[in-house]
């Protein structure tokens, strides 16, 4: 117990600065670090500050606002480019699905159209379908089954080559193609409308020229029968009745030539009926 009290007293004296131990230690220990250590540490401290100063300089590519601004600039440029192209072409932009639908549908329409309005791109389809032309230029439309098969083949080829083509096509070329397709579509629609009107007035399965020829032939036959009837009546003695019929015939058919009448009545009878 007495020992502990002694230790506590020594400690308190020491802590109050009244210890011989402390005085002896302070008197003896004046050792300092070597000069080269001081220089090394101080230069390291300065270097660290300089390096941090270099690092803290704002670097353009590391600034936090660079990414959002870059994205915004890219979007703005893209939109302005598209709008400019749209204004230059004067055509509204066609979305990708619309273009594909148009291309598929136009194949069938192209097959039904005369060859003259088809573009060179459609030549392969025309060859496959083997459209047959008559001597007078008429086109025999192939059976719907043949059309369907050709169209399916065309679509399959189109789908297979579409990705490659899209990769190669520049945006400007794409716009030109869309424009061309639209013009072609309009031309096809006009042609289809005109043909539909013609077909509505014509008999089914018969060409218009043939109908006209038959009509004329039928009328000619009627006229021939009329003249032969007049001739028979004259020969049977019904002169007055024959003359009345002849006058009526001339009146009804003013364009019928005298030569044609002479051919059917004979020149002598023609002169007699006309003179009396």
Partner 1 sequence: MDNDVSDENLMLSYASGNAAAFEVLYVRHKGSVYRYMLNLCRNEAVAEELYQEVWMKLINARESYQVKAKFTTYLYKLAHNQFIDHYRKQNVRIVVDQSVEVEDVEQDHLSKGNPEKQAQTIQTINKLSELIASLPNEQREVFLLREEAGMSVPEIAETLGINQEAAKSRLRYAISKLRAGLSEE
Q: How far is the CB of 28 from partner 1 (least distance, A)?
A: 4
Taking the least distance from each CB to partner 1, the nearer of 16 and 197 is 16
**Which of 16, 28, 120, 204 lies at the binding interface for partner 1 (CB under 8 A)?**
28
Which residues are CB-contacts of 107 (< 8 A; sequence separation ≥ 6)? 122, 125, 150, 151, 154, 155
Does 51 contact partner 1 by CB under 8 A? no
Closest by alpha carbon to 194, among 113, 116, 123, 125?
113
Interface with partner 1, residue 38, by CB under 8 A? yes
Residue of 18, 39, 48, 84 interacting with partner 1 (CB under 8 A): 48
Sole window of 27-35, 76-84, 100-108, 181-189 interacting with partner 1 (rule: CB under 8 A): 27-35
Q: Which residue has the tokens 């005109």?
A: 194
Which of 1, 30, 120, 144 is in the footprint of partner 1 by CB under 8 A? 30
**Measured CA distances, 81 to 74, 86, 95 (Å):** 11, 9, 16
> What sign for the dihedral angle of Cα 197, 202, 203, 208?
negative
Q: In whole angstroms, how close is the CB of 55 to partner 1 at the nearest point?
A: 10
Per CB under 8 A, 39 contacts partner 1: no
What sign does the CA torsion over 239, 240, 243, 245 have? negative
Which is closer to partner 1, CB of 62 or CB of 276? 62
70 near partner 1, rule: CB under 8 A: no
If we measure between CA atoms, which residue out of 178, 175, 179, 181 comes closest to residue 83? 175
Site membership for partner 1, residue 7 (CB under 8 A): yes
Restricted to residues 79-98, the positions that interact with partner 1 (CB under 8 A) are none
Can you tell me the distance from the alpha carbon of 234 to that of 180, in angstroms, rounded to the nearest whole number? 72
Stretch in the footprint of partner 1 (CB under 8 A) among 19-27, 106-114, 117-125, 215-223: 19-27
Q: How distant, in Å, are the alpha carbons of 7, 102, 189, 240, 260 from that of 223?
A: 161, 55, 44, 20, 10
Contacts with partner 1, residue ranges (CB under 8 A): 6-8, 10-11, 14-15, 19-22, 24-34, 37-38, 40-42, 44-46, 48-49, 52-53
């Amino acid at each position: 117990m007495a020992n502990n009290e002694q230790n506590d007293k020594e400690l308190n004296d020491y802590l109050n600065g009244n210890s011989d131990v402390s005085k002896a230690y302070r008197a003896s220990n004046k050792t300092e670090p070597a000069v080269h250590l001081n220089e090394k540490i101080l230069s390291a401290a300065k270097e660290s500050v300089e390096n941090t100063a270099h690092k803290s300089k704002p670097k353009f590519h590391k600034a936090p606002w660079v990414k959002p601004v870059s994205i915004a600039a890219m979007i703005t440029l893209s939109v302005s480019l598209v709008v400019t192209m749209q204004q230059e072409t004067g055509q509204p932009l066609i979305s990708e699905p619309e273009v594909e639908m148009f291309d598929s549908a136009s194949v069938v329409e192209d097959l039904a159209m005369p060859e003259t309005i088809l573009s060179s791109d459609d030549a392969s389809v025309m060859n496959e379908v083997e459209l047959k032309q008559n001597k007078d230029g008429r086109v025999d439309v192939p059976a719907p089954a043949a059309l369907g098969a050709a169209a399916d083949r065309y679509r399959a080829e189109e789908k297979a080559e579409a990705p490659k083509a899209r990769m190669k096509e520049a945006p400007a070329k794409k716009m030109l193609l869309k424009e061309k397709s639209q013009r072609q579509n309009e031309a096809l629609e006009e042609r289809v409308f005109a043909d539909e009107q013609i077909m509505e007035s014509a008999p089914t399965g018969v060409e218009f020229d043939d109908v006209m020829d038959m009509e004329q032939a039928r009328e000619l036959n009627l006229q021939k029968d009329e003249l032969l009837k007049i001739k028979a009546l004259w020969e049977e003695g019904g002169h007055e009745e024959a003359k009345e019929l002849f006058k009526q015939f001339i009146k009804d058919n003013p364009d019928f030539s005298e030569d044609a009448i002479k051919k059917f009545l004979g020149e002598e009878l023609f002169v007699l009926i006309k003179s009396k």
